[in-house]
Structure 1
Amino acid sequence: MKIYLQSLLTLFYSKISLLHSTLGLGALLLGFNFPIFSQSQVRTDAENQHITVFLNRAQIDARIKTSVQSGTTKLIIGNIATTADPNSIQIGGKGEVVIMGVKFKQNYLGNKKRSVLEDSLKITKSELEVVDVLVKVAENERSMLMANSNVKNEKDGVTPEDLKEMMDFFRTKLTEIGTRQMQLVRQSKDLQDKINCFQQQLNSQGTNVNQPAGEIELTVTAKANAIIELNLTYIANGAGWSPIYDIRAKDIKSNIDLAYRANVFQNTGIDWKNVKLTLSTANPAEGGTKPELSAQFVNIYEPILMLNKNSRAMKFEAPQAMAMDAAPLQEVSTTAAFVNTVQTTLAVNFDIAIPYNINSGGNAEMVDIQNHSLRSNYKYYTVPKFDKDAFLTAIITDWEKYNLLPGTANVYFEGTFVGTTDIAGGEAKDTLLISMGRDKKIISKREVVEEFKSRKNVGSNIRESFGYRITLRNIKNEPISIVMEDQVPISQDSRIEVELEDAKGADFNRETGKLTWNLTLQPLENKEILLKYNVKYPKGKNIQGL
């Protein structure tokens, strides 16, 4: 019986070994790349030297150094952005060759990042399949062994010595199989963890991994063997930068420290390794063609009367107004210790002295550009009509010389993050106001004064009066300057008249209806302000906006 079992196991092992070697060979073949040879073809990679990142897109300057034989050669240049604009490719340099043609193409088999990750994933999955098969083999081996474990008594020719020998045999084999199963289960778990890591890496890189590789096919001819050094320049989509600021103030007596940074992103399909970086305020996506004026026609607008299905009332349908284009972005200038700022005719360039590595498809890279110390005056603003809190603002009067681009700023005051604000909205103003956050120690209150509120008939009109009491309180231990804002309605109909009756000490803008008080509050001081106005309109008319 023992000999019979050993024969079965030997046959079983030989079949499994053949299966293992076959699968192992398959896994090996998955990772093997067969070279392709071409007599008139030379492959080389472009070495990226300098990258200029615009607000939208990037210009890549690269170098190629290689040798060609006499005759016509197709030079296949790799490490080219997948998003390259074929019309922007420029090639020049040195060497005894004549350039016959330039063509950009995409190689769907040449994405090294994709091939490395996906091939590693395939190989690991194949290894896991082998381990899973061996786990099943061990389980079947154990089942076969247990199926033959029924030992009969001495009448069937089994002696105690035979029984002891069989028990030793089963113990040895079961221990061996169990140990092998535990090792295979651990190996299976390790391989599954490895597969999960590869899959997560693929997912984290998004569609970038599935991009084809960019290549430039350069056809050259040479009378003799030659060494050539080429300079390559082209524009790539899928890259850009946006400004972001950090604003820090120690207290209301100190200057504002402004850190100017750039959020640089790129999804060009190639990694930028140790390249010189320049950030430019230019935006090639806007185009540089001068707009042309066409004839502007005018005529009388005749409104179309449309009957409401649910009533006899008539209404006018007016044409929709056309939205105006946004103002162009402003330029940036000034210098910092690690950045050389160059003012060109159409833009400003920040030449970064430190080489950068920015991976394609990865997280945006934060690049420091400049640091400024801004002389600031501080004031509090409050609009009790909408919010009871006061807002501390920093007022910068000479900010235009920095020409900051529109962006978001993280605000830190007295060592604490207080929120975000918008900076440099693109409008030409003398002063820049930066909100530094709320101050709960300045309290405002706006309430209706019932004794001022009335509604009277005046001939064929209605005269309606409104009154509000606004209270400000400073519970700080120091005096403050505060600007309080409120408003009165503006009439858009000659039949409606608005009269400001009482707003002592306020500057009144009649075009916008805005009221502004510039006040000083001493420590623990309360100040009360009255606002009264009247609105007169025809009887029987419903007035909107009151």
Structure 2
Amino acid sequence: MQHSIAKKDAFAGRIIIFKNALNLFVMKKSFFRGFPFFVFLLGMRIFVFSQNQVRVEAENQHITVFLNRAQIDAKVKATVQTGTTKLIISNIASTIDANSIQVGGKGDVVIMGVKFKHNYLGNKKRNVLEDSIRITRTEVETIDMLIKVADNERNMLMANASIKNEKDGVTPEDLKEMLDFFRTKLTEIGTRQMQLARQSKEANDKLARLQRQLTSQGGNLNQPAGEIELTVSSKANATLDINLSYVANAAGWSPVYDIRAKDVRSDIALAYRANVYQSTGIDWKNVRLTLSTSNPSEGGTKPELSAQYVSVYEPVPLARGGSVDGRAMYAAPKAVMAEEVKDSADNFATTADFVNTIQTTLAVNFDITTPYTVISGGNPEMVDIQNFNLPATYKYYAVPKYDKDAFLTAIITNWEKYNLLPGSANIYFEGTFVGTSNIGNSDTKDSLLISLGRDKKIITKREVIEEYKARRNIGSNVRESFGYRITLRNTKSEPIDIVIEDQIPISQDSRIEVETEEIQGAEYNKETGKLIWRLTLQPLDNKELTLKYNVKYPKGKNIQGL
């Protein structure tokens, strides 16, 4: 009898469990509606066919950043089963040059194929940001709903707040009880409304920040994710260590300099830095960088000369879409990547020596041993390359014809050994920021001139000598006389070396003659017309220079350039 009762109770328990499950199914039926059973079978098929497809992520190890483009070296670890396996490698730059992909490594497999593809659903940054916006928007909607519920509770409570007199059976005790009830409920609702209002403000502020972040990222978040599909064949289960290398566009670096001069008797302190930027679609996290002065976008193939023909120019009507001079446009040669220089740098003892400079035949590589993180599409990352103390000679330059101020310059010899590239420089003199300048290494001179800014304590002035200025007719010609007085004053408490520059016009017509009358010891370049005076001014010293010349030309002609 007891056994029969136990079986009956167990059966009843199973019935209850079944009913609960049925109720749960009914509650969730909107979710399952339109979700046929064959989808479950399809899911089983997907699982079966996906057994030989493995997703792995590339781990960036070393990135060589050229002036334009970057070479990314990464490692991939994967385990494959017997047969053919497709390795889907993520964390790949979406700006990849697909022709540059190189795959190597260790493992008993045969590589059947390598293919790059875009995954338009795999942008992790956008997905994470959109998920955050979606969650926060749901939070805002939930809080708004709770605020409406609290408002309705208050309205319903107030609608039933009318109290009748004792004739209707309301005693003082009942009245006190009702007042206590209303006070408690209104306080509870009011407290909840304040909390919800505060939560609503915080959630809306967060939502606005997320939306601004999404907008500020612009096209970077619209970039599809990059993936490499690597097909391998294996006779047995195998573990692979894959070395992956490729070139990506939308990356590079530019030099930036800080130049500090304590005074005109000290060496120049030059900080050589790099602004490293990239918008490859992936973040470079804690990677070792090598900065190369090579620029693959310029091309590495020498141009070929074709025959140059000359003929008499005969004007012809310009055909629509034709070139103005009839010459074909020169096509830039295809870029050839510089060979990667293998790293041989060890860890250094001091922070001042974290860069190893490697001179190759065609470029200079700066191997940065400290790991850096460079965010895709973010602000450029400032990377310190080297610090130099440069022996310098200081001189002042002045061109009174165009500017009354004198400019302090530092002249550096043997500058080519410092591997400087053209770039902007922040100038500091005597502990004060004085402005920006440019450093260029395209000049073939053996010295580098760096402008350190204006010095208001050196006064220059250029004025016309009115008593010399004249215009006379000589036969069929006109002769004009020009004269200028240049005055200099050194108000500093120390002597200075200064170079004064001016010029005399150059004739490009045999009918125009230029005659130099007085240049007061200046160096004169007849080809350029440039005049240079090299002077030393003592403290509080004054100096006066005179420049005179004549120009003769035919009557009735309008002469330009005087």
Q: Which band: TM-score by shorter chain?
A: 0.7 to 0.9
Give 1:107 shift.
Answer: 1.3
Query: Which residue in the other structure is 1:361 paired with?
Result: 377
* Cα distance in structure 1, aligned partners of 2:218 and 2:388: 37
* Correspondence for 1:454: 470
CA change 1:510–1:236 in 2 (3 A) is: same
Moved more, 144-153 or 83-92: 144-153
Deviations 1:149-170 (A, max 9, x none): 2233334444433333322222
Question: How big is the shift at 1:520?
Answer: 1.1
CA distance in 2, matches of 1:409, 1:252: 18
Aligned to 2:306: 294
What letter is aligned with 1:259? A
Q: Tell me the amino acid that sits aligned with residue 446 of structure 1.
A: R
Question: Where does residue 142 of structure 1 map in the other structure?
Answer: 154
State how far apart, in whole Å, the 2-side matches of 1:66 and 1:531 are: 81
What corresponds to 1:500 in structure 2? 516
For residue 232 of structure 1, what is the aligned residue in structure 2? 244
Alignment-derived partner of residue 477 in structure 1 = 493
Question: CA 1:275–1:126 in 2, change beyond 3 Å: closer, same or farther?
Answer: same
User: 2:297 is matched with which residue: 285, 298, 303?
Assistant: 285
Q: Find 1:408's aligned residue among 424, 430, 437.
A: 424
From 225, 245, 255, the counterpart of 1:213: 225
Change (3 A) 1:351 1:507: same
Task: Give the Cα–Cα distance (whole angstroms) in 1 for the partners of residues 449 and 191 of structure 2.
Answer: 73
Tell me: CA distance 1:224–1:320, structure 2 relative to 1, closer, same or farther (3 Å): closer
The answer on 1:539 being equivalent to 2:555 is: yes
Distance apart, 1:320 and its partner CA? 11
Q: Which amino acid aligns with 1:82?
A: S
Looking at structure 2, the residues matched to 304 and 323 of structure 1 have their Cα atoms a distance apart, in angstroms, of 19
Q: Secondary structure at the match of 2:231?
A: strand
Q: Write the letter of the residue equivalent to 1:515.
A: L
Matches within 5 A, 1:29-68: 37=47, 38-68=50-80
Deviates more, 1:435-444 or 1:294-303: 294-303
Please give the residue correspondences for 1:164-203 in structure 2 after superposition, counting only pairs within 5 Å: 164-203=176-215
| 8 Å Cα contact 1:99-1:218 kept in structure 2 | yes
Matched residue SS, 1:452: coil
1:319: Cα distance to partner? 6.3
3-state DSSP of counterpart to 2:221: helix
Measure how far apart 1:389 and its partner are.
0.9
Taking the TM superposition and a 5 Å limit, the aligned residue runs for 1:309-324 are none
Q: Secondary structure at the match of 1:85?
A: strand
* Secondary structure at the counterpart of residue 117 of structure 1: helix
State the shift of 1:384 in Å: 0.7
User: Could you tell me whether the CA contact under 8 Å between 2:461 and 2:488 is conserved in 1?
Assistant: yes
Tell me the percent identity.
Answer: 73
Separation in structure 1 between the aligned mates of residue 277 and residue 501 of structure 2, nearest angstrom: 42
Residue 533 of structure 2 corresponds to which residue in structure 1?
517
**Post-superposition offset of 1:462:** 0.8
**Pairwise mapping of residues 258-407 of structure 1 onto structure 2 (< 5 A)?**
258-302=270-314, 337-407=353-423
Determine if the alignment matches structure 1 residue 421 to structure 2 residue 437: yes
Q: What is the aligned counterpart of 2:261 among 249, 262, 267?
A: 249
Question: How far 1:230 sits from its partner (Å)?
Answer: 0.8
Inter-partner Cα distance in structure 2 for 1:510 and 1:284: 42
In the superposition, relative to structure 1, how do residues 296 and 200 fare at CA in structure 2: closer, same or farther (>3 Å)? same
Q: Quick check: 1:382–1:389 contact (8 Å CA) kept in 2?
A: yes
For 2:436 and 2:223, how far apart are their aligned partners in 1?
36
For this pair of structures, how many residues does the alignment match? 497
Amino acid aligned to 2:532: T
- In 2 relative to 1, CA 253–320 (structure 1 residues): closer, same or farther, beyond 3 Å? farther
Greater Cα shift, 294-303 or 264-273: 294-303
Contact 2:220 2:281 in 1 (8 A): yes
Indicate conservation of the 8 Å contact 2:90/2:227, yes or no.
yes
Instruction: Return the alpha-carbon distance in structure 2 between the equivalents of residues 325 and 344 of structure 1.
Output: 28
Q: Is the Cα contact below 8 Å between 2:420 and 2:441 reproduced in 1?
A: no
Note the C-alpha offset of 1:528: 0.8
- Residue aligning to 2:546: 530
For residues 475 and 288 of structure 1, what CA distance do their matches in structure 2 show?
54
Q: How far is 1:275 from its partner?
A: 1.2
Q: CA deviation at 1:51?
A: 0.6
Q: Distance in 2 between matches of 1:411 and 1:466?
A: 39
Q: 1:464 to 1:323 in 2, by over 3 A?
A: farther
> Separation in 2 of the partners of 1:325 and 1:398?
37
Shift of 1:98: 1.0
Which 5+ residue runs of structure 1 have no aligned equivalent? 1-20, 26-33, 306-317
Rounded to whole Å, the distance in 1 between the matches of 2:185 and 2:292 is 73
Amino acid at match of 2:360: T
Code of the aligned partner of 1:449: I
Residue 484 of structure 1 deviates from its aligned partner by 0.3
How far 1:251 moved relative to its partner?
Answer: 0.8
Map of 1:466 onto structure 2? 482
1:7 is matched with none
1:112 to 121, 124, 130: 124
Deviation of 1:113 (Å): 1.9
2:100 partner letter: S
In 2, Cα distance between the equivalents of 1:89 and 1:386?
Answer: 56
Counterpart Cα distance in 1 of 2:559 and 2:539: 43
- Looking at structure 1, the residues matched to 329 and 431 of structure 2 have their Cα atoms a distance apart, in angstroms, of 42
1:93 is aligned to 105
- Residues 237/349 of structure 1: CA separation in 2 closer, same or farther (3 Å cut): same
Q: Distance in 2 between matches of 1:222 and 1:150?
A: 85
1:504, distance to aligned residue in structure 2 (A) = 0.7
Question: Alpha-carbon deviation of 1:204?
Answer: 4.2
Q: Does 1:440 align with 2:452?
A: no
Counterpart of 1:488?
Answer: 504
Give distance in 2, aligned partners of 1:163 and 1:484. 103
CA, structure 1 residues 138+116, in 2 after alignment: closer, same or farther (shift >3 Å)? same
Shift in Å at residue 321 of structure 1? Answer: 11
- The aligned counterpart of 2:3 is none
Partner SS state of residue 79, structure 2: strand
Task: Check conservation: 1:206, 1:361, Cα contact below 8 A.
Answer: no
Structure 2 spans left out of the alignment, 5+ residues? 1-26, 32-42, 318-323, 333-337, 339-344, 346-351
The CA distance in 2 between the partners of 1:252 and 1:79, in whole Å, is 52
In the TM superposition, what is the alpha-carbon distance from 1:401 to its structure 2 partner? 2.2
Preserved contact between residue 364 and residue 419 of structure 2 (Cα < 8 Å): no
Give CA-to-partner distance per residue, 1:123-142, whole Å, 9 cap, x none. 01101110011111111221
- Equivalent position amino acid for 2:381 in 1: E
SS in structure 2 of the partner of residue 241 of structure 1: strand
TM-superposed CA distance for 1:304, in Å, is 9.0
Q: Which residue is equivalent to 1:18?
A: none
Residues 211 and 65 of structure 1: CA distance in aligned 2, closer, same or farther (over 3 Å): same
Q: Contact 1:407/1:425 (CA < 8 Å) preserved in 2?
A: no
